[in-house]
């Protein structure tokens, strides 16, 4: 099992920290001494997760704050709250997401839900928190992607999936977008000489509520093939599935632009993983970053002035 290095004195934000990989990441960061902000859409669920963490680690420093990545106003309020606190942010773990929503659904800002929740919301959060990240001595942004990104492409002409919506295709595109965001942030850090390390991870097939919560939105239900695959594909619990994200966020061996996942693709200990070819396209990464700035109204240049 991956051992999180000493984190005393560090401030960490984990999105989607009320369950699954997010809760496990928050628990292990807190156990290693970090002050962990559980950034959650439902504060009551966050408080329950916090109680579980404190029961296991009574001295843990944790707090719950509301964050809905499907609502840019919520993203701004969350980021403004941290900025007003003025404490440097050492670790940002972009973990939260939604998967395979059966019918095309829009966020509060009119974005396709999976693109908005999995990419545009985390993008806006990351950029808004850059001022705090860049005041930390060795900040990191670890972004959770998915193995589905391997078979995705960014359709710039249909980014919001307004034509021919497919739950799985929209999800895969959003997770490829996460990798391109991770890569471009690493390039920006290198270009500007920032001490920030941006890395990515994927959890393989980890058993969490992600596989059921998205497909059941709006009265939907997982398809027959999808349900069958969930039963026969090798899987692992959050304790193992969270490790690639924790590795990206804390390992001294993680590298800028690095990508980490299970050794055997869907299960196993963490290893460095090759980026999908589509995620290595720096021109697409830069184009998508610009598109995200225009859609969210959040600019890196404005954030770091």
Q: Which residues are catalytically annotated? A: 171
Distance CA 20, CA 206 (A): 9
Six token digits for residue 1: 């099992």
Q: How far is CA 7 from the centre of its chain?
A: 20
| Exposed/middle/buried for residue 213 (C-beta within 10 Å: 0-12, 13-18, 19+) | middle
Task: Report the alpha-carbon distance of residue 85 to residue 102 in Å, rounded.
Answer: 39
Distances in Å between the alpha carbon of 123 and those of 65, 120, 277? 18, 5, 21
Q: What is the spatial distance between Cα 9 and Cα 3, in angstroms, rounded to a whole number?
A: 18
Token pair for 173: 């595109």
Provide the sign of the torsion angle of the four alpha carbons 238, 235, 208, 90, taken in this order: positive
Give the span between the Cα atoms of 179 and 185, in whole angstroms: 10
- Which token pair is 126? 């990351």
Assign 3-class secondary structure to 32-98: CCCEEEEEECCHHHHHHHHHHHHHHCCCCEEEEEECCCCCHHHHHHHHHHHHHHCCCCCEEEECCCC
């Amino acid at each position: 099992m991956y051992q999180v290095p000493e984190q005393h004195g560090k401030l960490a934000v984990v999105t989607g920290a009320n369950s699954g990989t997010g809760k496990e990441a928050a628990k292990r960061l807190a156990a290693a001494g970090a002050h962990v902000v559980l950034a959650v859409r439902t504060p009551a669920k966050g408080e329950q997760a916090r109680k579980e963490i404190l029961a296991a680690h009574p001295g843990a420093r944790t707090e719950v704050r509301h964050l809905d990545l499907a609502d840019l106003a919520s993203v701004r309020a969350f980021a403004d709250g941290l900025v007003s606190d003025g404490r440097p942010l050492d670790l940002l773990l972009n973990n939260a997401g939604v998967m395979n929503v059966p019918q095309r659904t829009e966020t509060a800002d009119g974005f396709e839900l999976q693109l908005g929740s999995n990419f545009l919301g985390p993008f806006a959060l990351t950029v808004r928190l850059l001022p705090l990240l860049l005041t930390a001595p060795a900040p990191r942004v670890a972004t959770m992607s998915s193995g589905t990104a391997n078979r995705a492409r960014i359709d710039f002409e249909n980014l919001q999936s307004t034509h021919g919506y497919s739950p799985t295709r929209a999800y895969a595109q959003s997770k490829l977008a996460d990798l391109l965001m991770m890569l471009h942030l690493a390039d920006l850090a290198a270009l500007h000489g920032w001490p920030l390390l941006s890395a990515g991870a994927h959890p393989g097939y980890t058993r969490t509520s992600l596989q059921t919560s998205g497909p059941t939105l709006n009265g939907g239900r997982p398809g027959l093939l999808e349900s069958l695959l969930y039963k026969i594909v090798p899987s692992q619990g959050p304790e193992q599935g969270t490790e690639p994200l924790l590795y990206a966020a804390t390992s001294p061996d993680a590298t800028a632009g690095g990508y980490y996942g299970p050794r055997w693709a869907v299960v196993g200990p963490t290893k460095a993983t090759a980026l999908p070819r589509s995620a290595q396209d720096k021109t697409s990464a830069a184009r998508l970053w610009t598109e995200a700035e225009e859609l969210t109204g959040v600019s890196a240049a404005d954030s770091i002035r």
